[in-house]
Amino acid sequence: MLFMQGARDYQVTVADDLARWKAGLDAQTGVEFRVYAEANHLFFPGSGPSTPEEYAVPGHVDPSIIAEIADWIAQQ
Give residue-wise pLDDT tens across range 1-57. Answer: 999 999 999 999 999 999 999 999 988 999 999 999 999 999 999 999 999 999 999
**Cβ-based neighbours of 50, under 8 Å, separated by 6 or more:** 6, 8, 9, 10, 40, 41
Domain of residue 50 covers 2-75
Q: How far apart are CA 5 and CA 12, in angstroms?
A: 8
Q: Based on the structure, what is the number of domains in the chain? A: 1
Q: pTM here? A: 0.87
